[in-house]
């Protein structure tokens, strides 16, 4: 019997939720490819997983970085789009510099979109895949958008929309595309939060480990499927 271990690639995995997710997926038996903007961070993170973790530098805002890294990485079954920035804490929608807003969207939306576009064709060809968007409560109309970080909030709304669009396109072809709201967890982005990154990683892992007849195009929280 040949046991094929699924390959999972995590973006922004040098720290925080990405690192905790990589560790958790490694413990669950996935082959994890740890990526970070700085290749040295990725290597250190992979080393902390123990044996078997491969690492690459990957800047999700760069076409060349995505192309070169994914060519070197080989086939990927599971993509966790975790890389994200929060640049506008305390700003107001009426006054925020749109250059800053553009940078938030470039990472949080186009970054996830770019890596998804690069990996989806292979997943569809093999008839199996999972794409997980690490979203946020600030992206849910049902939750109330967050005017205290308007570009961040808007970027997560758009990431949720991208989730639905990719899920619609790929429905019935073996690839599940879902968004996750990990809840507030303590990382560089939210040092004030009380929950651990490991807690958030467990929610993210649920979207990775969905069965083949599981949902696509939904938002998952710790309690299960949540309204957009």
Residues designated catalytic? 152
In the complex with ligand NAP, the residue whose CB is nearer, 118 or 193, is 193
Report angle CA 210, 226, 190 to the nearest 5 degrees.
95
Q: Is 36 in the site for ligand NAP (CB under 6 A)?
A: yes
Encoded tokens for 135: 């979203």
State whether the Cα torsion 189-219-108-72 is positive or negative.
positive
Instruction: Choose the stretch contacting ligand NAP; rule: CB under 6 A; options: 66-74, 82-90, 93-101, 218-226.
Output: 82-90
State whether the Cα torsion 96-184-6-39 is positive or negative.
positive
Query: Which of 8, 10, 60, 162 is in the footprint of ligand NAP by CB under 6 A?
Result: 60
* Nearest one of 110, 107, 105, 141 to 219, comparing CA atoms: 141
Q: Is 136 in the site for ligand NAP (CB under 6 A)?
A: yes
Binders of ligand NAP among residues 160 to 189 (CB under 6 A) are: 182, 184-185, 187-189
Instruction: Choose the stretch contacting ligand NAP; rule: CB under 6 A; options: 31-39, 70-78, 97-105, 209-217.
Output: 31-39
Q: Order across the sheet with 224-226: list the strands.
A: 54-57, 31-36, 7-10, 78-81, 129-134, 175-180, 219-221, 224-226
**Footprint of ligand NAP (CB under 6 A):** 11-12, 14-18, 36-38, 41, 58-61, 82-85, 107, 111, 134, 136, 182, 184-185, 187-190, 193
């Amino acid at each position: 019997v040949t046991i094929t271990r699924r390959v999972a690639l995590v973006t922004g995995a040098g720290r925080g939720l990405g690192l905790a997710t990589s560790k958790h997926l490694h413990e669950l038996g996935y082959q994890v490819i740890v990526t970070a903007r700085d290749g040295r961070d990725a290597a250190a993170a992979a080393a902390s997983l123990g044996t078997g973790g491969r690492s690459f530098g990957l800047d999700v805002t760069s076409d060349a970085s995505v192309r070169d890294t994914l060519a070197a990485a080989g086939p990927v079954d599971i993509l966790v789009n975790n890389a994200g920035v929060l640049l506008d804490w305390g700003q107001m929608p009426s006054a925020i510099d749109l250059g800053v807003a553009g940078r938030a969207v470039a990472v949080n939306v186009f970054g996830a979109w770019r890596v998804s576009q690069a990996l989806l064709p292979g997943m569809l060809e093999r008839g199996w895949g999972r794409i997980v968007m690490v979203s946020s409560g600030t992206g849910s109309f049902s939750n109330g958008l967050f005017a205290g970080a308007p570009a961040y909030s808007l970027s997560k709304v758009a990431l949720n929309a991208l989730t639905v669009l990719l899920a619609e396109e790929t429905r019935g072809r073996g690839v599940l595309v879902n968004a996750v709201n990990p809840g507030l967890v303590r990382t560089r982005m939210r040092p004030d939060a009380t929950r651990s990154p490991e807690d958030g990683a467990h929610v993210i892992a649920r979207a990775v480990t969905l069965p083949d007849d599981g949902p696509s195009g939904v938002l998952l929280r710790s309690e299960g499927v949540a309204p957009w």
